[in-house]
Amino acid sequence: MKRFNIIYFAFIFLLLVSIIYLYINIGQFEEKTKDNIKKVIFNNTSYFIENISSIIKNDINEDLYTTLKKNHKLRNKLEKQMETIVTPSFKYVYMLYRDNNGRYRYLLDGSKDDKGVFDTKFDVNKDEWDKVYDTKKPNVIYQDDIFGLWVTTLSPYIMNGKVVGIIAIDFSTTLFKYMTEIISPLKEIFLYIFVSVLFLFSVIIYQVIAQIRAKKDSIIDPLTHTYNRIFLRDFVTKIDFYNYDIAMFDLDYFKKINDNYGHKAGDYILETFSSIVKKNIRDKDIFIRFGGEEFLLFVYKKKKNRSYAKETIVRIRKSIEDYKFKYESFDIRLTVSVGLVVEIQKYKNIQEIIKKADERLYKAKHSGRNRVVDSDNTINNDTIMVNKLSISQIKQAIDEDRILCQFQPIYRLKSSEIKYYEALVRLCDKSNNLVYPGSFLDSIEGTNIYRDMTKKILAIVFKKIANQGVNISINLNLSDIIDSSIYEMLIKEIRNNQDISKFLTIELLEYEDLDNNLLQYRLSEIKQYGVMISLDDFGSGYSNFSVFESLPIDILKIDGSLIKNIDKSEVSFRIVEAIVLFAHNLNIKVVGEFIHNEEILKIVKSLNIQYGQGFYLGKPIDDIF
Amino acid sequence: MKRFVLLTMFVVSSFSSQINVEKKIYKMIFSALFPSNSVVKVWSDEPSKTFIFASMKKVKLVKSQNNADILMLYHNEEIDTNNKIVFANGYLVFQRKKGKAVGGFYWQKGRPNLIFVKKILQKKGIVLPDNLKKYIEDIK
């Protein structure tokens, strides 16, 4: 297509040049023809002038002026002879002499009209006539206009080596007019074609420029002036990615910048961050905004310095750490986490490399942020160990249906009946060994794979509910409810199973500082389908009593670390006691987990905790019968 | 149609260019003959030419020869010049009136020709500026 465009462009250009060439040639042809006509006229008049000269010479041997002045009859005779050559074209034939005052006067006039009288003055173009006297050579005066051509041929009459008169013939022709009539339409046609082609050419140039500009605009992120994903899509097909080390950047706690200072501050940070990175890289390195606050950097490999990419990335990380982002009156400090892949040859395609960079970025994030992870095994100041299942292994397990659930019963302690089961996700590796969430959940958190896995678990759980008619709980992070892609999938699955959704309980983990209004709205929407909401691991970490004010909680699960020590620790006992009292007052059911012996069970019961879970009561089972 | 348009253009353009030349020459003649007159009163025996004088600045066209400073003659008819300055317009008119006319202006072979008669200039006590002296002829 691109080659076709060049050919098309070249063709139009060639056409334009050809038309200009033809147009110029027609003009030259016209001028050449005019010159030739002038030559023909001059040759003809020269012939007549020669004849007139010989006639005069035949009759006059002495002083011309005196002879003619004296001999009136001779004048008449000669004028009659000159008159014979007068035609509509050779209009005036006459002979003048220059007097002592430099004025030209008639000697003879063979013209039929406007006849001059002997020795009277005739005002002529003196300079041109004087040339003939001075040079003793003929001269031709042309007067050209659009209607025709006037030519005055002047020829010296020489006696005894001296010019004594000038024979003049005024010639007029309409040949030029006719020629112009023929050539003008041709010139006009070429002019119109030229203008049309020029217009076409201009349109093409305009379109090409517009296309280039549009293409440039489409691949440049308007905020950071870095390349965008559209560029990446095209770029990866054109490059040999083995020539690059690839890094993925993510600004730490960027969301907080937007929340605290507003989106304009966020835009400023992104813009400034990009310019800092660009200052630290070379022209052949490619910096791309991958989305949001995520960026990709393709560092062109240096043959003599294999650690060049890492040095560059570490330098950038340090620059960001040291940089004071000044927004309005605020000094904002920021850090960046980076996943770097330098062992490119291990991967089959660019997607795998980007995925690996993403995994390492994730590790950098979950290892305290503000660091560079460039390996799956090592750890140092700028790196962190990664020793769990890779994203590709997890994805493969999902694709091959090797995700499953174990179910741990939760008992109603008064009646010793199973109230519901907690679904516990497991991954079955290729050797058929069970892999626990600690080895894979962290790796995929925040990725589409995490969402796919959640969807898989929901499908397993709903299937089990449909088959067994039991209550089952699943675990989700509060942030999953905020994450629109996970939430939309979740609500869709609940709607698809709304006749059995009342058997589902969602246990929420990780009480972060999240948007309570959105959480409240979304949890209320979930509860409309009869789904129960449980708060997991309450009493440790970031547990906050204020969540009960805004979130619609049905069940509260006391953190296992409190329960497992409740028989030994007075503090744990008192905390649990307070939590239970608080929950009862709010009519929230309480679950005690980690019940691993009879003593703990007794204490839990004594505290009026309604539900119990733990190895003493029932271990996770592969299936519910 | 095209020929008609071209012919009309030719006639109009050549006519208008000829008139412009004539106007310039008349202006030159009047300022040479009447250097101290703020307005030159002109009488002409050719009604079709009066528009030329009427359109000139510092020239007033008069209906009676008696009121005129100069008589512009285009015809050979004898008229009472009443000792006024006479100027011939046309070759034949000039030939006929050269005993009376201070000068003549005419087109010959497509070229404008101007003549002042030395004898009459002297008689009228007119001294031409230098640029017109080359047109003075000693006609006997």
Tell if the CB–CB gap between B108 and A94 is shorter than 8 Å. Answer: no
Parallel, antiparallel, or unpaired: how do β-strands A611-612 and A589-592 relate? Answer: parallel
Residues, chain B? 140
Mutation choice for A interface testing from B17, B94, B108, B117 by most A CBs within 10 A: B108
Pairing of strands A90-98, A104-109: antiparallel
Q: A510: pLDDT confidence band, cut at 50, 70 and 90?
A: low
Number of domains in chain B: 1
Q: Give the integer Cα–Cα distance in Å for A394 and A447.
A: 12
CATH number at residue B33: 3.40.50
Tokens describing residue A200: 């076409």
Mean pLDDT calculated for residue range A451-469: 92
Identify from A99, A101, A106, A123 which residue to disrupt to test chain B contact, counting B C-beta atoms within 10 A and taking the largest count.
A123
Neighbour-count burial for A81-99, b at 16+ CB within 10 Å, e otherwise? bbeebbeebbbbbbbbbbe
Rounded to the nearest 5°, which phi and psi values hold at A59? -100, -20
Residues of B in contact with A117 (CB under 8 A): 95
Cα A108 from Cα A80, distance rounded (Å)? 10
In sequence order, what DSSP letters do the residues of A552-599 get, joined into one string? Answer: --SEEEE-HHHHTTTTT-HHHHHHHHHHHHHHHHTT-EEEE----SHH
CA nearest neighbour of A393 among A432, A429, A353, A436: A429
Residue B16: predicted pLDDT: 59
Among A91, A101, A114, the residue with its CB nearest the CB of B108 is A114
- In 3-state terms, what secondary structure has residue B87? strand
**Which of the residue ranges A133-147, A253-267, A447-461, B92-106 would you say has the lowest mean pLDDT?**
A133-147
Report the gap between the CA of B66 and the closest CA in chain A (Å): 32
Sign of the CA dihedral with B124 first, then B127, B132, and B135 last: positive
Q: How many CB pairs below 8 A link A and B?
A: 31
Residue B12 has what pLDDT? Answer: 44
Set of chain B residues whose Cβ sits within 8 Å of the Cβ of A171? none
Alpha carbon of residue A510 to chain centroid: 40
SS3 track for A436-492: CHHHCHHHHCCCHHHHHHHHHHHHHHHHHHHHHCCCEEEEEEHHHHHCHHHHHHHHH
Tell me: the pLDDT tens digits for B95-127? 888 788 999 999 998 889 999 999 999 999 999
* Residue A243 C-alpha from the chain's centroid: 24
Percent of all residues in chain A with a pLDDT value above 70, rounded to a whole number: 95
Task: Give A19→chain B minimum CA distance, Å.
Answer: 28
pLDDT at B6 over 60: no
Tokens in use for A46? 């020269």
Alpha helices in A71-174 (DSSP H): 72-83, 126-135
| Residue A625 identity | F
Q: Kindly provide the residue ranges of all beta strands, DSSP E only, lying in chain B, ordered along the sequence.
A: 40-44, 59-61, 70-73, 85-89, 101-108, 111-117, 136-137
Q: Is the pLDDT of residue A38 over 80?
A: no
| Mean pLDDT, rounded, for A432-449 | 79
Sorting pLDDT into bands at 50, 70 and 90, what band is A33?
confident
Residues β-bridged to residue A211: none
Alpha carbons B37 and B58: distance in angstroms, whole number: 9
Q: Who wins on pLDDT, A23 or B131?
A: B131
**AA letter at B22:** E
Give per-residue pLDDT as tens, B20-47: 888 999 999 999 999 999 999 999 999 9
H helix runs in A61-137, sequence order:
64-70, 72-83, 126-135
**A124 contact residues in B (CB cutoff 8 A):** 111
Interchain pair B111, A92: CB under 8 A: no
Cβ contact, residue pair A92, B137, below 8 Å: no
pLDDT of residue A514: 60
The nearest CA of chain B is from the CA of A91 a distance in Å of 9
Measured distance CA(A71)–CA(B99) in Å, rounded: 26
Q: Which of A349, A231, A216 is nearest to A286 (CA)?
A: A231
Band of pLDDT at residue A517, cut at 50, 70 and 90: confident
Chain A residues in contact with B108 by the CB 8 A cut-off are 114, 116, 122
In sequence order, the 6+-apart residues with CB closer than 8 A to the CB of A197 are A12, A15, A16, A19
User: What pLDDT does residue B26 have?
Assistant: 93
pLDDT digit string, tens, across residues A10-22: 887 888 788 888 8
Which of B107, B109, B138 to mutate: most A Cβ within 10 Å? B109
Among partner residues B109, B113, B134, which is closest to A170 by beta-carbon distance? B109
Query: How far is it, in rounded angstroms, from Cα A201 to Cα A195?
Result: 10
- For residue A533, which of A609, A478, A614 has the smallest C-alpha distance? A478
User: Which sign does the torsion angle of CA A185, A190, A193, A195 carry?
Assistant: negative
Residue A181 has pLDDT above 70, yes or no: yes
Inform me whether the pLDDT recorded for B8 exceeds 50: no
A121, A124, A147: residue with CB nearest B137: A121
Helix or strand holding residue A336 (H, E): strand A336-341
Check residue A515 and give its pLDDT. 64
What is the spatial distance between Cα A118 and Cα A527, in angstroms, rounded to a whole number? 130
- Is A170 in Cβ contact with B110 (below 8 Å)? yes
Who wins on pLDDT, A34 or B13? Answer: A34
Beta-carbon contacts of A44 under 8 Å, excluding residues fewer than 6 positions away, are A171
DSSP-derived 3-state class of residue A508: strand
Q: Can you list the domains of chain A with their CATH numbers?
A: 2-179 (3.30.450.20), 229-373 (3.30.70.270), 394-612 (3.20.20.450)
Contacts of A116 in chain B (CB under 8 A): 108-109
In this model, does residue A176 exceed pLDDT 80? Answer: no
Compute the mean pLDDT over every residue in chain A, rounded to the nearest whole number. 86
Tokens 């009277």 found at? A120
Which residues of B are less than 8 Å from A111 in CB distance? Answer: 109
Summarize pLDDT for A579-617 with one digit per residue, the tens: 999 999 999 999 999 998 899 999 999 999 999 999 889
How much is the pLDDT for A509? 82
Residue by residue, DSSP assigns A44-56 as HHHHHHHHHHHHH
Nearest residue to A166 via CA among A113, A117, A128 = A128
- Closest to B103 (Cα-Cα) out of B118, B84, B92: B118
Q: Hey, CA dihedral for B44, B47, B52, B56, is it positive or negative?
A: positive
**Cα A599 from Cα A615, distance rounded (Å):** 13
CA distance A420 to A164: 140
With 0-12 / 13-18 / 19 or more C-beta atoms within 10 angstroms meaning exposed / middle / buried, residue A154 is buried
Band of residue A307 on the pLDDT scale cut at 50, 70, 90 = confident
For the record, the structure tokens of B34 come out as: 């009447």
State the residue for tokens 């023909």: A40
The band of A255, judged by pLDDT with boundaries at 50, 70 and 90, is confident
Cβ contact A536:A507 at 8 Å: yes
Q: Which of A118, A114, A116 is nearest to A65 (CA)?
A: A118
pLDDT > 90: what percent of chain A? 42
Q: Out of A119-128, A158-167, A543-552, A564-573, which region has the weakest mean confidence (pLDDT)? A: A543-552
Phi and psi at residue A473, in whole multiples of 5°? -110, 150
Query: What's the average model confidence in pLDDT over A121-146?
Result: 86
CB contact (8 A) between residue A123 and residue B110: no
Residues of B in contact with A121 (CB under 8 A): 113, 115, 137
For residue B108, give how far its alpha carbon lies from the nearest alpha carbon of chain A (Å). 5
**Measured between alpha carbons, how far is residue A513 from residues A482, A553, B66 in Å?**
11, 17, 118
pLDDT of residue A145 exceeding 70: no
Question: What domain range is B21 assigned to?
Answer: 2-137
Q: Contacts of residue A98 in chain B, CB cutoff 8 Å?
A: none
Strands A403-412 and A417-428: antiparallel
pLDDT per residue as tens digits for the range A362-417? 888 877 788 899 887 544 444 333 346 777 778 888 888 899 999 999 999 999 99
- What whole-number distance in Å separates Cα of residue A530 and Cα of residue B77? 131
Chain A nearest-CA distance from B9, in A, is 10
From B107, which residue of chain A is nearest by alpha-carbon distance? A114
DSSP alpha helix (H) spans, A244-386:
254-261, 263-279, 308-322, 350-366
Confidence band for A542, pLDDT divided at 50, 70 and 90: low
DSSP state of A88: S
Distance CA A394, CA A444 (A): 8
- In this predicted structure, what is the pLDDT of residue A391? 73
**Residue B3 pLDDT:** 45
State whether B113 and A150 contact (CB < 8 Å): no
Residue contact B109–A94, C-beta within 8 A? yes
Q: Are strands A148-159 and A162-173 parallel, antiparallel or unpaired?
A: antiparallel
Identify the pLDDT of residue A312. Answer: 93
* Res B1 pLDDT > 70: no
